[in-house]
A = this chain, B = another copy of it.
Amino acid sequence: MTEALGLTSARWKVIGVIALSNSGLTVPGIARVLGQSRQAVQRITDVMVTDGLLSYQTNPKHKRSVLVVLTEEGKTAYQALRDVQDPWAIRNTEDIPIEDLDAGLRLVHRLIQKFDK
């Protein structure tokens, strides 16, 4: 799904997190949201900045830890992604009772919470 847009799943995740934030996130911040190491995120964002999807912005609250924001190209990619993914998600779930999906989601959350302990 991401391939047609020139993205990969890892970049998709990063774009998604940033798109849902208001004023940009630091690299370690993105890592915390994704539950990944900051080093892994750093590598991805560096490449994405090179590719023009993201840009680093001065962080008024921290001298070294810059904020990661979407460029116009990044925002376009995010929207293109949504235009593909949303219909896909609907297509694959529309014939399943909402109660079933909800119960499944609650079960998964419950298990995750147990595993984190």
Interface residues of A: mostly helix, strand, loop or mixed?
helix
Q: For residues 91 through 117 of chain A, which have their beta carbon under 8 Å from a beta carbon of chain B?
A: 92-93, 96, 100-101, 103-104, 107-108, 110-111, 114-115
How many copies of this kind of chain does the complex include?
2
**A92–B115 contact, CB under 8 A?**
yes
Output the least CB separation between A6 and chain B (Å).
22
User: Which residue of A107, A108, A114 has the most chain B CB atoms within 10 A of its CB atom?
Assistant: A107
Number of interface residues of A (CB under 8 A): 13
| A108, B115: Cβ atoms closer than 8 Å | no
B104 engages A92 (CB within 8 Å): no
A103 interface neighbour in B93, B100, B111, Cβ under 8 Å: B100
Contacts of A111 in B (CB 8 A): 92-93
Assess whether B92 is in contact with A100, with CB atoms less than 8 Å apart.
Answer: no
Q: Which residues of A contact B (CB under 8 A)?
A: 92-93, 96, 100-101, 103-104, 107-108, 110-111, 114-115
Task: Please provide the 8 A-B residue pairs with the shortest distance between their CB atoms, ordered closest to farther.
Answer: A104-B107, A92-B114, A104-B104, A100-B107, A103-B103, A92-B111, A92-B115, A96-B110
Instruction: Given A93-B111, A103-B103, output 4 extra A-B contacts at Cβ < 8 Å.
Output: A92-B114, A92-B115, A96-B107, A104-B108
